[in-house]
Structure 1
Amino acid sequence: MSRVLGMLTAVLCYFAFFAAFAYFVGFLAGIPELPTNIDKGLVAPAPVAAVIDVALIAFFGIQHSVMARSGFKAAWTRIVPVQLERSVYCLGAAVALAILFAFWHPIDRMVWNVTSPAGQIVLWALFLGGIGVVFISTWLINHFELFGLAQAWSHVRNAPMPDPRFVTPLFYRAVRHPIYTGFFIALWATPHMTAGHVLFAAGMTVYLLIGIRYEERDLVKRFGSTYVEYRASVGMIIPGVGRRTP
């Protein structure tokens, strides 16, 4: 694969993932104009819908976790060029999300419904704040490396990727995983919580908590005692909560 074609592939994967993320925000917010959202989709009896939805969440979780593990990467890069490994991972996540959106089965039983205008404003502000924390956090570390563009660009320039540096800017001084913190807030902050939304939020919460454990193993391997000490002094997703003593 030529370097220019590789860069173009990385850019297309980046925008595919970003489109999926944008749809995810609208899906979770329940925007009625979308073809599907958390409360709009295929119809089935509640027990059947729950089984299908759990399977969709598990499918996304497996894709997102397995493809991120070092063992899978070592095998996968025998097929996919190393510089495109992260880009293909992001494309896989976009496809998994698209499948989830397309086959989601809402369960419309209301769990809570905040009708107070002030309450709605607060909850929507929290939702948008959570999404904002996710987006900002990607830029605090290395947005373009996280989504595969930096690797492809380094290949175009025939330059090696710089060694990873351990930094703790802004949110990372308070929690180890602010991206997950933002997702947790966005998943649960809604004035109109249906049973299907609870199922989605709970399933994603479980997946994210499992994902953190695997991610931290990789971070300890990469940064050694530096990350171990950081993990002992900073909360996991809530400031001061979840510190792990060596």
Structure 2
Amino acid sequence: MKRYALLLYGLFGYLVGLGTLLYLVFWVYPWVWMPTTIDSGAPGSPLRSTAIDLGLILLFGLQHSLMVRPRFKAWFDRHVPYGAQRATYTLVSSFFLGLILLFWQPISGTLWHFDQGTFGWWLTTLLYFFGWGVAVLATFQIDHFGLLGLTQAWRGYRGLGEPEPTFQERGFYRWIRHPIQAGTILGLWATPLMSTGHLLFAAAFTLYVLIGLHFEERDLLRTLGEEYADYRKRVPMLLPFPKRSSR
């Protein structure tokens, strides 16, 4: 019975995580059919709105930083079974991302606004689809279901533990080391309507991604060793421009 509960928990975490992320993808673009978007609502006091929005982003960032720290992970390993760990992380992350989606405050001011059908509208919309498309496809080129905890729940159901980490260079990962993050950054910035609130969100999350990649690269080097060090020398981080060979 416990194994079935673990599998159902993993499936629930996967569906909640996937649904929250998909809502975010559509939330950052001015779709008229969306119930809410990043610019929904009447702008209030700029200082108050900025403080609330930065607070929401800070909560999300602190949760992500805390749950990947070695001390917390050691506690997590002792109290949460392997098959439920990633699903729990996904659910907690979805909660804090949901707070942003629910309580984000629009801020008055517009940097650019391209009318539908114009060149600027087509360009930003195509880049939006391209960015998020790359991010989604890249998850399947590593372990889409593992990123949201379903693979771990399935292994727990079968009585298997955590597998040995392996390194594979495929798909987008042959050109850039972090295509999920690169696509996400592009998807956040590519919009025909860049409001001040959207700018704040895109800039803050870009900064968060860059800081997170710094620590992720350090962990990957520690885990995978020379294999990843060589990969890091050959393949750029976010932009698919070939590296110059050092003489």
Q: 1:168 to 1:71 in 2, by over 3 A?
A: farther
Question: 2:175 aligned with 1:185, yes or no?
Answer: no
SS in 2 for 1:55: helix
- Further displaced range: 144-153 or 179-188: 144-153
1:133 aligned residue: 134
CA distance in structure 2 between the aligned counterparts of 1:210 and 1:71, rounded to whole angstroms: 19
Deviation at 1:43, TM superposition (A): 4.5
1:151-162 → structure 2 map (5 Å cutoff): 151-162=152-163
Superposition TM-score, scaled by structure 2 size: 0.92
| AA of the residue aligned to 2:175 | A
Aligned to 1:5: 5
Report the counterpart of residue 201 of structure 1 in structure 2.
Answer: 202
Shift of 1:22: 1.2
C-alpha separation between the residues in 2 aligned to 1:72 and 1:225? 27
Stretches of structure 1 lacking an aligned partner (at least 5 in a row): none
**Conservation of the 8 A alpha-carbon contact between 2:83 and 2:157:** no
Paired residues of 2:82 and 2:156 also in contact (CA < 8 A): no
Stretches of structure 2 that go unaligned for 5 or more consecutive residues are none
CA distance in 2, matches of 1:30, 1:9: 34
Partner of 2:74 in structure 1? 74
Decide which moves more: 208-217 or 116-125: 116-125
User: Are 2:211 and 1:210 aligned?
Assistant: yes
Report the equivalent of 1:64. 64
Tell me the residue number matched to 1:148: 149
2:223 maps to which residue? 222
User: CA-atom RMSD, angstroms?
Assistant: 1.9
Per the alignment, residue 98 of structure 1 pairs with 98
After TM superposition, the score normalised by the length of structure 1 is: 0.93
Deviations 1:94-132 (A, max 9, x none): 111111111100113111112362221121111011111
Worse overlay, 60-69 or 138-147 = 60-69
Contact 2:10 2:149 in 1 (8 A): yes
How many residue pairs get aligned? The number is 244
Identity of aligned residues (%): 39
Distance 1:43 1:192 in 2: 15
Query: Which SS does the other structure have where 2:47 is aligned?
Result: helix
CA spacing shift, 1:242–1:197, aligned 2, 3 Å: farther
Counterpart Cα distance in 2 of 1:41 and 1:148: 34
Q: Secondary structure at the match of 1:29?
A: coil
Residue type of the alignment partner of 2:210: L
- The Cα offsets for residues 1-58 of structure 1, whole Å up to 9 and x where unpaired, read as 7010000000000000011011101210133443432101474201110111111111
Shift of 1:242: 8.4
